[in-house]
Amino acid sequence: MEGTLDFINVFLEWLLEFDTHVLVLAASAIGAGFAMIAGIGPGIGQGFAAGKGAESVGTNPKRGRQVTVVMLLGAAVAETSGIFALVVALILLFANPLLGAGGIALVLIASCLGAGLSMIAGIGPGIGQGYAAGKGAETVGVRPEHHGNIVKVMLLGQAVGQTTGIYALVISLLLLFANPLLAIV
């Protein structure tokens, strides 16, 4: 345990020898990369929705247009967590509000990394919303006369499923623009 603590101390001392501006830029790049991991969820969810839509059209080709509309609506909603992650990554790369602060490099670095890491939470909503879109498209193919009700339920469920993506966005934006940790240091 003592060897690990020594390594951490040596590493932190070495890290803090760098210019604060450079460290924050480096952390911003890493945070932006971490943020984009959230794109996994929408990718899986939208793929599921597309697959179920295709399956549904195969089952009921006469309702292909309705199924496609439901699948596209659902897949668009599933993309929102990926968009949130993209926003955070772009802020980190092009408009990082933490670059102006000085002297508290480690907190700033951790904030950049935390902002990016928090967006990984977007994986869940993307998968869940895509699953809902797929089931909605599948059900419209089987019961097209209930198209309107199916879409309403699907969109309501997707809206609820988006909450964790919204929470992640809020935390990322707080770390970047209104970081409460900076007042403590």
Helix residue ranges, H only, the chain: 2-15, 20-35, 40-59, 64-78, 80-94, 105-118, 123-142, 147-161, 163-177, 181-184
Does residue 64 contact residue 57 with C-beta atoms inside 8 Å?
yes
Domain boundaries along the sequence of the chain: 30-179
List the one residue out of 71, 69, 41 whose CA is nearest residue 55: 71
Average pLDDT of the segment spanning 32-55: 88
What pLDDT digit, counting tens, does each position of 116-144 carry? 999 998 898 999 899 999 999 999 999 99
Question: Which region among 34-48, 101-115, 126-140 has the lowest average model confidence (pLDDT)?
Answer: 101-115
What pLDDT digit, counting tens, does each position of 67-100 carry? 889 988 998 888 888 899 999 988 988 888 888 7
Q: Give the largest CA-CA distance in the chain.
A: 70
Quick one: CA dihedral 152, 155, 159, 160, positive or negative? positive
Whole-structure pTM value: 0.74
Does residue 157 contact residue 70 with C-beta atoms inside 8 Å?
no
Q: What is the pLDDT of residue 185?
A: 64
* Range 30-179 classified under CATH 1.20.120.610: yes
